[in-house]
Structure 1
Amino acid sequence: MGYGSQAGHRPVCRGAHRVSFTLLWIPATILASLLQTARNLTQRSLTDVIGVVGATQVRFLFGLPFAVLFLVVVCLVADRLPPSIDLTVFGYTVAGALTQIAATALMLAAMRERSFAVTTAYTKTEPVQVAIFGALLLGDALTPGKFAAIAIATFGVVLVSWKPGEKLSRAGLRPAVLGVGAGAFFALSAIGYRGAIQALPDGGFFIRATTILAFGLALQTLVLTVYMLVANRAALMSSLRNWRRSLSAGFLGAAASQCWFIGFSLTSAANVRTLALIEVPLAQIASRRIFAEGTSWRELIGMALIVGGVGLLLMLALR
């Protein structure tokens, strides 16, 4: 018995009751955004202590035990083994795992040069990219209304990140390139993981999402641990010495990914990543309260556009 149907969209029959999980992607994505904002803050604080690669590795190495625990619990409740992983699932998961590593490293590198909020805004150019990739690679539907919602929200992101009068120098361009590059790799990662979840041969949406989460984190942990043992053992040892903060980042990362993957199993990656733009206002709030980074009127207008675009997307999704 699984959680939901094979596709995750059809209702589940239980006696005289029919329960639909179709719109569960909305609260799952909102929770994922909250958890990811908290994880990014934790990783940013670790960057100064153990470096970019060390902080990148933390979310995977220390997140894997939690992902495995999630999978064990789901299998026990569902009374079944995880779905089998074939070459197609393996390929999609490898693509999602490796591009997520690259995205996280680029994001943390950008955060060392620009504010937490602005870097978050740069990475959130992702939805337009993920919508196009999803339509081309997975056949996800992209209606004119949905594309308009994505475009409005993304323009809000650009408005938040752009500073009037700022000269386009190499120093100013570098964090922008890093942030937008991170957004591109996050887009490819979302497509890879959604493709892997869809390619699993059986199981409900919950067990398929949790299976890919555990498998993806295992691959990422293996790749980064081997790399750091060879190239940066000091950062690996430092992350182990700072195990309390590392464990917090790992748990927040695993919990956020669990919610992201539930969203990917129920709707297109473009829908999930556009709703996830609520992270930009969350990052602004965090910047003001934690890092004493101010917010201008231009940034407030940009955030209003983000909220408006997200609101339009939800209206279309709820029809």
Structure 2
Amino acid sequence: MITSPIWLPATLMAGATQAWRTAVQRRVGKTLSINAAGLVRYLYGIPFALILLGGYQLLFPAPFPVLGRLFLPFCLAGGLAQIIATNLLIMAFGHRNFVVGTAYSKTEAVQGAILSFLLMGERLSTLTCAGIGCGVAGVMLLSTGGKRMGPMDFLRALGQPAAITGIASGFFFALTAIGIRRATQEVGGGDPIHAALIVLSVTVLLQTLLQGGYLALREPGEMRKVFTSWRVSGQVGFLSAMGSACWFTGFATAPVALVRIVGQIEVAFTMAFGHFYLGERMARSEAMGLMLVACGVVLALLGAL
């Protein structure tokens, strides 16, 4: 159920911001371990998340809403799923290039549609389902990395580490979306943006404790690198907080699957960053895949009208 039209601009902005953040985080990941590279987005995102919440509270004064008894469990579940998804995505980058690693993780759209139906009873129109299929076909074409592949080659490619980690990343990102949506539903007051910012602030605090505690115990040397890389890591934290605020707003105001389908537009931004920021070339098949993704987004939007 769509409760506010804010979900669409929020989702589009989330896609652009996340693509930028992922590109910067990949550069950070070259000097940090997987867990350390994941931690920077939460640790350095805390001050920006709190600033966003405080700023919104000042602009729109209102009593702090009542939090339901399942608020913290859902924040924790969503935050933990996001940590796992992010680590898997960073691992996928190590197997193939930046665009391909992200493309595999974008199967979260169809996984999110299935999970949100099974766990939350959310239903989609036939046109939106067609958009899912079109978008998934596009990201699968993008996943070939510009190589010509027959059906059997494609099936074999699905067993490669990049595919396994990327698809697993998409699964946990889908779980993240469901956990966050349920957490926002536990916030009273009727303001979805305020609810999204509250969930964001609490979630990044929990994520910092979880992944920071693990890193301090298991990789103390990497913890020092996290603090010495503050110049670039601060950019990751800022972009992560901004992107998550937009994603969480989308989840608070529209069905998870619809937000994730439209969020596939991130692939277009990712390809642009991969080409211009990281110097990766775009093949003809990748351009065709991008067109399919765009068509999927358009169909999803038409189905939501």
**TM-score under structure 2 length normalisation:** 0.93
In the TM superposition, residue 139 of structure 1 has moved relative to its aligned partner by 2.2
> What amino acid maps onto 1:35 in structure 2?
T
Correspondences of 1:21-170 after superposition (within 5 Å): 22-162=4-144, 163-165=147-149
Q: In the aligned structure 2, how far is the partner of 1:140 from the partner of 1:199?
A: 17
Aligned partner letter, 1:244: R
Q: Which amino acid aligns with 1:212?
A: V
Larger deviation, residues 168-177 vs 215-224: 168-177
Counterpart residue identity of residue 97, structure 1: G
The alignment partner of 2:82 has SS state of helix
Structure 2 Cα separation of the partners of residues 167 and 108 of structure 1: 22
Amino acid of the residue matched to residue 205 of structure 1?
Answer: P
Of 282, 291, 308, 2:269 maps to 282
Return the alpha-carbon distance in structure 2 between the equivalents of residues 128 and 206 of structure 1.
26
Matched, 1:303 2:290: yes
In structure 1, the gaps of 5 or more residues are 1-6, 10-21
> Is the 1:138–1:195 contact (alpha carbons within 8 Å) kept by the matching residues of 2?
no
- 1:68-121 CA-to-partner distances (Å, cap 9, x unmatched) read 111122222332343233331222111100000000000011112211110110
Aligned residue number for residue 248 of structure 1? 235
Residues of 2 paired with 1:143 and 1:91: CA distance? 31
Distance 2:170 2:179 in 1: 14
Q: Report the counterpart of residue 192 of structure 2 in structure 1.
A: 205
Q: Which has the higher contact order (CA 8 A, sep 6+)?
A: 2
SS in 1 for 2:62: coil
Distance, in Å, in 2 between the alignment partners of 1:170 and 1:125 is: 15
Equivalenced residues, count: 300
Q: Which runs of 5+ in 2 are unaligned?
A: none
Q: Residue 256 of structure 2 is aligned with which of 269, 273, 278?
A: 269
The answer to whether the 8 Å contact 1:8/1:204 transfers is no
Cα distance in structure 2, aligned partners of 1:159 and 1:181 = 18
Q: Which residue does the alignment assign to 1:19?
A: none
Q: 1:167 to 1:130 in 2, by over 3 A?
A: closer
Q: Which amino acid aligns with 1:132?
A: I
Question: How far has the Cα of 1:124 moved from its partner?
Answer: 0.3
Please list, as runs of the form range in 1=range in 2, the aligned pairs for 1:200-239 lying within 5 A after superposition: 200-239=187-226
Is the Cα contact below 8 Å between 1:75 and 1:81 reproduced in 2? no
2: CA distance, partners of 1:248 / 1:291: 16
1:124-157: per-residue Cα shift (whole Å, max 9, x none)? 0001111111112122222222111111111111
CA contact (8 A) 2:104 2:140 kept: yes
- Alpha-carbon deviations, 1:176-199, whole Å to 9, x = none? 111111011000000110111122
Q: Is the 8 A contact 1:275 1:310 kept in 2?
A: yes
